[in-house]
Amino acid sequence: MSGTAAHHAYVWEFEVEPESVAAFLRYYGPDGEWARLFRQAQGYLETLLLRDEANPVRYLTIDRWRSRADLEAFMADHRAEYEAMDLACESFTRREASLGSFRECAASG
């Protein structure tokens, strides 16, 4: 493995209320409100938003960070803002679930 630390990703799954898709996209898209909040922290890389081709109200978000420590520092510094936005977004979804924390794999070679 190289000397470069692997990036960290946090993945969420959402089932969005059909009438709330536009609002959901404003908040959860790559340039949405969540990404703007995350950009206040050191180590945030990007947010990916994926829509299920078979189920148009099912989405995944992948928030990429330089390291797990950067995500944890963000949460320590911005917990109140995070929780307030999470509460504000509750009505957009029927269901949401954390799919977990992942470390990106380095290419072998």
- CA distances (Å), 45 to each of 1, 39, 50, 65, 70, in order? 21, 8, 17, 5, 10
Domain ranges of the chain: 8-18+28-59+71-103
Answer whether CATH 3.30.1490 is correct for domain 8-18+28-59+71-103: no
Phi, psi (deg, nearest 5) at residue 13 = -115, 140
Tokens representing 24 are 């959901």
For 66-94, what is each residue's pLDDT tens digit? 999 999 999 999 999 999 999 999 999 99
* Banded pLDDT at 16 (limits 50, 70, 90): very high
pTM over 0.75: yes
